[in-house]
Every structure is written in structure tokens, then in C-alpha cells.
Amino acid sequence: MNKIVAAITIGILAIVAFVYFTMDFPFSLDRKDFEEEYTIQQKWDLPKRLEEISGMDFIDDERMAAIQDEEGIIFIYNLTSKKIEREIKFGKSGDYEGFAIVRNDAFVLRSDGVLFEVKDYLGKNPKVTEHKTFIKAKHNAEGLCADLKNNRLLLAVKDRDPLSNNTKGIYAFDLKSKKLLKTPAFAIDLKDPIFEEVKTKNKLTVMMPSEVKIHPKTGDVYITDARNPKLLILSPDGRSKKLYLLKREKFYQPEGIAFRKNGALFISNEGHSDPANILEVELQ
């Protein structure tokens, strides 16, 4: 009997350890108190349909296209009217985590690394094509953005990088060949001194990318972490420039980034006790 009790106890402890280190839910890691180095300029509380907003991109200065991580639908949201103008179905229910617009087409990233190309997504009859990559569900792909200067998409891995235990890769999907390149375009060094204020027992949780976008003016690469809210900025050549720690009271779960053409930064947060929102953020 004692052996059975001991086995059950060990099993429970193993499950708790697994959940603590690997499950995708927000909690605060130990870190120092910090000053807010940003100002929230505007806030949009989102409709219930977008409670789990997970990716977005600007169509124009007034309208955004966005996805939420349970439905295969692109939502057109108007910042002025604060309403959903249109819904465009592209697939079945799934864990959709990244969104990017490339001219007249849209791309949606599922967490298992599959990319959905939605041709002429605002037209009457959008055509959907699926592109499989070497990224798998265990890697948990989350971020997606267009890098039109290099004719590619950038795809960020949240959990375990397929090639390294010491970095989190941001991989390039070539828009001509429609293939994901094996060598990362950027690699986030999990031992980088820039993370010295982030205290965690598991190095893989030092930075868990939830979105990636390129600043339209500087070319800098912006990466959010939704699990332990933060914003990392890389230079165009991949060097770490700045890490902004975000207060969870204002950034409950930062899942999306979008830039207006003038460089204004917008960050979306999934809902919790409060509605999901989009924040216009000015960094210091």
C-alpha cells in the first residue's frame, strides 16, 4: 500500500512540475520591481468575438484585420467605429496565433507551423492554400509578420526551438519558393545579458515570443512575450537593443503587434476578467 501511495505522490508531483514548466498560461515570474518605460495613448476594448485576439495587422489607418486563436476567421475591425465590419472565413477551428498582410493577400499561422495563404482576402471569393513547414506543435509557432523588403515572412517559435536549446529562432518563409528556411533569420540568445532582470527556473521561459513585427521606419524587429509580459527590440541585423518589461495590470496577455505606416505602435491583449483590448503605446 505504501508503495502505491508513494507512486501516486510521485505521479502528482511530476504532473505539477510539467504544468509549471511547460503549460501556456500567464503567471508572474520573479523579477525586480521596474518603472514603466512607456505610455498608453489610447485603448480600445474589443467585442466578445475577439476576446482571444492573437494576431493583427493594419489594412489602413482606420481598419485592422485580426484573428483570434480558436476560429478560422479573419475579422475586419474599425478603430473609429469600434465595431467588427466583416468576417472572412478561411479554415476550421484551430489554434491560430499569427497574422500578416502581404499586399492583397493574408497569411495566418497555426501553432503547429502550418501557414494559411488567403489570396485576395478582401475579395468576394478568397482562395486558401495551406503550406506545411518543419515547425511542429511541440515548438509552438506564435509570431508572424511580413518582411516585404526581403520578400519573406518571419515566423517566431514560442516554446522549444527545433534546432537549439539556447536560442529561440525567428525563421524566414520565402514568398517565392513558399518554403521555410532551415537557418533562422534571427536567433534570440536566451543567455543574453539583456534578460538579467528576468528571473526564471527554466531558461526556455526567459523569452517566449507571442508575436513579431518589423518597425516600418527603423527596420527594428519587435517581439512580444505574452506569458511574462515584455517587449524585446532587435536591430535589423539581429542585435538586442532594448527590453521593455510590461505591467500585467495593463498588458494582461500581449499577443499581437501592429504598426501604422507612421510607426505608431499598437499591442493587443487577450481578455481575462476585463475585455480584450488594443493599446496604442508610446515607448520612452
User: How many domains in the chain?
Assistant: 1
- Whole-number CA gyration radius for the chain: 19
Residue 235 belongs to a domain = yes
- Candidates 154, 148, 151, 150; CA nearest to 168 is 154
177 three-state secondary structure? coil
Its domain, for residue 49, covers: 37-283
DSSP 158: -
Residue 198 belongs to a domain = yes
204 three-state secondary structure? helix
Tens-digit pLDDT profile for residues 45-70: 999 999 999 999 999 999 999 999 99
What is the percent of the chain where pLDDT is above 90? Answer: 83
pLDDT reported for residue 258:
98
**Domain of 203: which CATH number?**
2.130.10.10
Exposure string over 171-201, b if 16+ CB within 10 A, otherwise e: bbbebeeeebeeebbbbbbbeeebbeebebe
Residue 7 belongs to a domain = no
Residue 241 belongs to a domain = yes
pLDDT reported for residue 20:
42
Tens-digit pLDDT profile for residues 209-229: 999 999 999 999 999 999 999
Residue 136 belongs to a domain = yes
CA distance 204 to 201: 9
Residue 79 belongs to a domain = yes
Tens-digit pLDDT profile for residues 82-115: 999 999 999 999 999 999 999 999 999 999 999 9
Residue 8 belongs to a domain = no
Residue 163 belongs to a domain = yes
Sorted by sequence, the CB contacts under 8 Å of residue 120 that are 6+ apart come out as 104, 105, 126, 127
Mean pLDDT of all residues in the chain?
Answer: 90
- Residue ranges of the chain with pLDDT lower than 50? 1, 5-7, 9-10, 13-32
Helix (H) or strand (E) holding 189: strand 186-189
Q: Are strands 167-174 and 152-157 parallel, antiparallel or unpaired?
A: antiparallel
pLDDT reported for residue 33:
67
